[in-house]
């Protein structure tokens, strides 16, 4: 009975972490300039639209900003790959799950372009996909290295990730000004 409750708690924490990650990903990717009610009901919201189909193209003297943005795109999708890898251990078609970061990233860029929520950029798709693949590979390596203690590894990782998710969720609930997140990911 005790083992079942521990498993249930860990599973809840895992899905809570996934939920918070999804909220933050949507906020940073789609709603950095607006929010959902404003998007749906306001006629005077901020509109911006751009399209860049040339990979790793940067203009002018803002090279540091460009490199920072590339790194942050990579970093933003790392948890997606990591969480996917945790959930798919032992599945037969596990490598197919590597397509999910690409699909999610492509969907976000299409939505940004379609709803005038920002610039759709092929570099973002590439770096987001690579970040997801790297996160997937990092967990796979950790699971391989700690294969005899995989349950302990999963427990520790889920607890650590859920602690970060709780902090992010508090910021999400309390803060209406997303300056801390939008400054980083802008």
Domain ranges within the chain, ordered by starting residue? 2-185
**Segments of the chain with pLDDT less than 70:** 1-4, 35-42, 44-46, 60-61, 174-186
For 78, residues 6+ apart whose C-beta sits below 8 A from its C-beta are 131, 132, 134, 135, 138
Radius of gyration of the chain (CA): 18
pLDDT at 101: 96
pLDDT at 161: 95
Instruction: Give SS3 for 119.
Output: strand
pLDDT at 186: 52
pLDDT at 95: 83
CA distance 66 to 133: 21
pLDDT at 1: 47
User: Are the CB atoms for 86 and 139 separated by under 8 Å?
Assistant: yes
């Amino acid at each position: 009975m005790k083992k079942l409750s521990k498993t249930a708690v860990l599973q809840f924490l895992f899905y809570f972490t996934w939920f918070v990650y999804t909220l933050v990903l949507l906020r940073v990717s789609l709603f950095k300039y607006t929010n959902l009610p404003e998007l749906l009901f306001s006629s005077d919201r901020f509109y911006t639209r751009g399209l860049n189909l040339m990979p790793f193209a940067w203009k002018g003297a803002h090279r540091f900003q460009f490199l920072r943005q590339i790194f942050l795109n990579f970093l933003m999708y790392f948890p997606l790959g990591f969480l996917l890898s945790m959930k798919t251990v032992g599945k037969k078609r596990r490598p197919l799950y590597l397509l999910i970061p690409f699909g999610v990233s492509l969907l976000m860029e299409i939505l940004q372009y379609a709803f005038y929520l920002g610039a759709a950029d092929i570099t973002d798709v590439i770096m987001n996909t690579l970040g997801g693949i790297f996160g997937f590979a990092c967990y796979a390596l950790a699971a391989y290295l700690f294969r005899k203690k995989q349950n302990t590894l999963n427990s520790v990782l889920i607890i650590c990730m859920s602690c970060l998710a709780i902090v992010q969720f508090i910021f999400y609930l309390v803060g209406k000004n997303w300056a801390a997140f939008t400054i980083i990911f802008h």
